């Protein structure tokens, strides 16, 4: 193949956010938009590191990963195209709307279609930049945790190991022609690129003049196998591999599958998993059904779709509607007894929501409970935990566990990339975020299915003696016992999505200004609610990485109260339009007789203070948040 430079001009706004670059598909579809970002990444990594590299390229399968909805016909006449279970009338040069699985079927059976794929652009540019080989999950599908696992664990057919990855995902953001696409780069450790690299990528996008690409033929990524090409500077290989087997193997090395299987196949225990049509579906069947014996009917929305079935693939009480009602939460008046355990994942399968029968486990509680039980219940941790960590807005529940168990503890800014150095240095085994992210040092991303297996392990452990006879220890029992031991951190997050960006900035600036006078703050607070304690400290969170000394500023506005309550305000870094304000509200209750209250009731005074103090309604013209978790 030949490599040639292609002229290009910079695009504005290619700054990676909390987790990569996320924009509307329309934006990504502009000629050279994706190419500019990819070349800027290669340049940031430096040619020395890119030459000879082995890169993983895959994603959650969302629209534009393979521009598969728009099949451009190359046949002159094609009156009917046969799709599985249906035939669709087509016309010359037309555009046909089909799902990914249908499209892949077409690719398999009709080689006459030209499909433009995000990953194909990257494969050609990788060859153009001297990369030695690219690994692609079959059909371009790999969950984000799997990409991390593949970088760390997989050995290629020729004995090679991966040095990094492009992950094509916008995670929990909706997908489809009018929704979001995203891309991020992960490093040799398996974790997201640190700020030093993402800042450099952004600088490069502002000055880019050309990118390098190779005139490779398209590679069929639907079939497992390796293809080699010869360039002027040597060979380039594309290896397509099974999307699930490396990940399944890793999970089996961490958990006691036998004991989880006993639980899942016990008539006493019922289970439900909702992949929200994200890539987790591809793993759920393999792990929960084939390996662990769950019934196929316990899987909801487990067929990956490139538009996530039109839904919002974010596992929370608002967006995981079907699961929430199946679990007997919300407005369900079904006669059917809900399952004992339910869980959901986001688009790229790194998030998780854990539910018990008619019971919601907050993500902050979830990481605390996993940390408190890991050593007994999960073989991987049997030698003890190296330490635990949480992101700043996550509740302080984990702090209490760390203190009681005498574990090292760290508080980092929002975003999984900040946990990586701690894990690499052997300082942290388990970490979590309030945003439905939980994980461990088995990889360098949060891991949705891992979290579910961790919970199933805890349930299996607590019910070892009970599956034959005796009463089942439920999810709710485990959480209530945890509160009784450690106290409860009442917690809620209010999201104001897609508000005017200017207004959001003004609100934040106002809150920072207010911090200069605590007496004024306390006057406002007591004017709103006299039953709320005093603000004793207010600042913007700043983090100095204990390993590399790098400093991250402006990581969220904090108001800390005398009784341990906290109010935190942040702007989201993962949205693609407008601004999203996140308000995090937390209150600690140590008294075991008071840990059973309804969370929104318990937090009502603090919520009133937060909304009043920030003048939320004045600034945003919103009387209520879009999502409450």
Which residues of this chain interact with Co ion, rule CB under 5 A?
171, 346, 348, 350-351
Q: How far is the CB of 608 from ligand VG1 (least distance, A)?
A: 23
Pick the catalytic residue from 171, 395, 429, 435: 171
- The DSSP H or E segment spanning 481 is helix 475-486
The minimum distance between CB 500 and ligand VG1, in angstroms, equals 17
Choose from Co ion, ligand VG1, none: what does 19 bind? Cβ within 5-8 Å by kind: ligand VG1
414 binds, among ligand VG1, Co ion, none (CB under 5 to 8 A by kind): ligand VG1
The one among 102, 433, 447, 545 contacting ligand VG1 by CB under 6 A: 433
DSSP of 548-575: T--EE----EEEEETTS-EEEEEE-SS-
85-93, 274-282, 430-438, 502-510 -> range binding ligand VG1 (CB under 6 A): 430-438
- Dist. CA 58–CA 240, nearest whole Å: 10
What is the closest distance, in whole angstroms, from the C-beta atom of residue 171 to Co ion in the complex?
3
Q: How far is the CB of 471 from ligand VG1 (least distance, A)?
A: 36
CB of residue 111 to Co ion, shortest distance in Å: 34
Quick one: which of 60, 307, 346, 365 contacts ligand VG1 (CB under 6 A)? Answer: 346
C-alpha dist (Å) from residue 453 to 235, 343, 558: 41, 10, 34
435 contact, one of Co ion, ligand VG1, none, CB 5-8 Å limit per kind: ligand VG1
Q: How far is the CB of 19 from Co ion (least distance, A)?
A: 7
Classify the phi-psi angles of 31: left when phi > 0, otherwise alpha if psi is within -120 to 50, otherwise beta: beta
Least CB distance to ligand VG1 at residue 385 (A): 21
100-106 own/partner pairs: CB under 8 Å, 24+ apart? 100/61, 100/66, 100/68, 100/139, 100/304, 100/305, 100/306, 101/303, 101/304, 101/305, 103/66, 103/68, 103/69, 103/71, 104/68, 104/139, 104/222, 106/71, 106/81
Comparing every residue's Cβ against ligand VG1, the nearest one is: 171
d(CA 274, CA 276): 5
Is the CB of residue 157 less than 8 Å from the CB of residue 168? no
Site mask for ligand VG1 (CB under 6 A), range 365-394, x = bound: --------------------------x---
**Cα–Cα nearest to 286, from 328, 225, 244:** 244
Q: Is 576 a catalytic residue?
A: no
| Whole-number Å distance between alpha carbons of 268 and 255 | 21
Binding-site member from 140, 328, 415, 439 for ligand VG1 (CB under 6 A): 415
Among 306, 350, 447, 589, indicate the residue that binds ligand VG1 (CB under 6 A).
Answer: 350
Which C-beta is closer to ligand VG1: that of 416 or that of 569?
A: 416
* Chain residues 576-615 in contact with ligand VG1, contact rule CB under 6 A: 582
CA dist 42 → 11, 126, 342, 354 (Å): 17, 8, 41, 38
Decide if residue 172 touches ligand VG1 (CB under 6 A): yes
Total Cβ atoms within 10 A of residue 291 = 16
Say how many residues touch ligand VG1, by CB under 6 A: 18
The residue from 171, 198, 362, 438 that contacts ligand VG1 (CB under 6 A) is 171
Q: Which does 572 bind (CB under 5 to 8 A by kind): Co ion, ligand VG1, none?
A: ligand VG1
Which two tokens mark 438? 């939980």
Near ligand VG1 in 552-581, by CB under 6 A? 572-574
Among positions 19, 298, 373, 565, the unique one binding ligand VG1 when judged by CB under 6 A:
19
Structure tokens at 539: 């600042």
Strands 271-274 and 299-300: parallel
The dihedral built from the CA positions of residue 315, 301, 449 and 595, taken in this order, carries a sign that is positive
Q: How far is the CB of 171 from ligand VG1 (least distance, A)?
A: 3
> What is the footprint of ligand VG1 within residues 190-249 (CB under 6 A)?
none
Q: Residue 607 contacts by C-beta under 8 Å, 6 or more apart in sequence?
A: 492, 494, 585, 600
In Å, what is the CA distance from 551 to each residue of 70, 413, 425, 535, 542? Answer: 44, 11, 18, 26, 7
* Contact with ligand VG1 (CB under 6 A) among 414, 457, 474, 565: 414
Find which of Co ion, ligand VG1, none residue 433 binds, CB within 5 to 8 Å per kind: ligand VG1
| Residue 437 near which of ligand VG1, Co ion, none (CB within 5-8 Å, type-dependent) | ligand VG1
CB of 622 to ligand VG1, least distance (A): 17
Q: Which partner from the list Co ion, ligand VG1, none does 35 bind, CB cut-off 5 to 8 Å by kind?
A: none
Stretch that binds ligand VG1, among 89-97, 204-212, 431-439, 598-606 (CB under 6 A): 431-439
Q: How far apart are the first and last CA of the chain?
A: 52
Structure tokens at 342: 């339910």
Q: What is the DSSP letter of 516?
A: T
Could you list the residues that contact ligand VG1 (CB under 6 A)?
18-19, 171-172, 346, 350-351, 391, 414-416, 433, 435, 437, 572-574, 582
Q: Which residues are catalytic?
A: 171
């Amino acid at each position: 193949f030949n490599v040639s430079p292609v002229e290009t001009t910079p695009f504005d706004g290619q700054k990676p956010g909390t987790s990569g670059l996320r924009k509307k598909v329309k934006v990504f579809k502009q000629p050279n938009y994706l190419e500019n970002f990819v070349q800027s990444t290669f340049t940031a990594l430096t040619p020395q590191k890119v030459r000879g590299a082995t890169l993983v390229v895959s994603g959650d399968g969302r629209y534009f990963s393979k521009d598969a909805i728009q099949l451009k016909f190359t046949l002159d006449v094609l009156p009917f195209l046969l799709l599985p279970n249906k035939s669709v009338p087509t016309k010359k040069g037309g555009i046909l709307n089909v799902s990914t699985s249908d499209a892949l079927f077409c690719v398999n059976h009709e080689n006459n279609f030209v499909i433009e794929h995000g990953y194909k652009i990257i494969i050609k540019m990788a060859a153009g930049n001297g990369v030695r080989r690219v690994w692609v999950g079959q059909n371009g599908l790999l969950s984000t945790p799997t990409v991390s696992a593949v970088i760390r664990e997989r050995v290629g057919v020729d004995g090679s190991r991966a040095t990094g990855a492009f992950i094509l995902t916008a995670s929990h953001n909706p997908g489809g022609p009018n929704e979001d696409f995203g891309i991020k780069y992960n490093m040799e450790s398996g974790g997201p690129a640190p700020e030093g690299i993402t800042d450099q990528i952004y600088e490069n996008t502002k000055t880019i003049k050309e990118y390098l690409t190779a005139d490779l033929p398209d590679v069929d990524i639907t079939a497992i196998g390796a293809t080699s090409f010869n360039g002027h500077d040597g060979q380039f290989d594309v290896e397509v591999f099974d999307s699930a087997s490396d990940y399944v193997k890793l999970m089996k090395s961490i958990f006691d599958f036998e004991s989880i299987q006993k639980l899942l196949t016990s008539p006493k225990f019922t289970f439900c998993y909702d992949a929200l049509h994200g890539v987790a579906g591809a793993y759920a069947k393999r792990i929960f059904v084939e390996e662990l014996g769950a019934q196929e009917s316990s899987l909801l929305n487990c067929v990956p779709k490139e538009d996530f079935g039109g839904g919002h693939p974010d596992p929370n009480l608002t967006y995981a509607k079907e699961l929430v009602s199946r679990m007997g939460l919300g407005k369900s008046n079904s006669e059917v007894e809900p399952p004992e355990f339910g869980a959901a994942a986001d688009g790229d399968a790194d998030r998780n929501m854990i539910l018990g029968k008619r019971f919601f486990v907050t993500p902050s509680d979830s990481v605390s409970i996993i940390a408190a039980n890991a050593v007994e219940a999960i073989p991987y941790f049997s030698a003890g935990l190296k330490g635990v960590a949480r992101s700043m807005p996550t509740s302080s529940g984990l702090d209490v566990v760390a203190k009681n168990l005498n574990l090292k503890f760290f508080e980092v800014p929002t975003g999984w990339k900040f946990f990586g150095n701690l894990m690499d240095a052997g300082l942290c085994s388990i970490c979590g975020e309030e945003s439905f992210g939980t994980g461990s040092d088995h990889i360098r991303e949060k891991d949705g299915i891992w979290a579910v297996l961790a919970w199933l392990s805890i349930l299996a452990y607590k019910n070892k003696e009970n599956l034959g006879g005796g009463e089942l220890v439920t999810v709710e029992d485990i959480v209530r016992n945890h509160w009784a031991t450690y106290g409860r951190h009442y917690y809620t997050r209010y999201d104001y999505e897609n508000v005017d960006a200017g207004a959001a900035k003004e609100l934040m600036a106002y809150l920072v200004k207010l911090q200069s006078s605590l007496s004024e703050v306390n006057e406002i607070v007591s004017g709103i609610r006299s039953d709320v304690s005093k603000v004793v400290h207010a600042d913007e969170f700043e983090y100095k990485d204990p390993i590399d000394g790098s400093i991250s500023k402006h990581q969220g506005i904090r108001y800390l109260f005398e009784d341990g309550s906290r109010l935190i305000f942040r702007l989201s870094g993962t949205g693609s339009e407008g601004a999203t304000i996140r308000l995090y509200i937390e209150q600690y209750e140590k008294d075991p007789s008071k840990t059973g209250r309804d969370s929104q009731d318990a937090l009502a005074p603090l919520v009133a203070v937060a909304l009043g103090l920030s003048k939320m309604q004045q600034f945003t013209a919103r009387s209520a948040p879009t999502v409450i978790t």
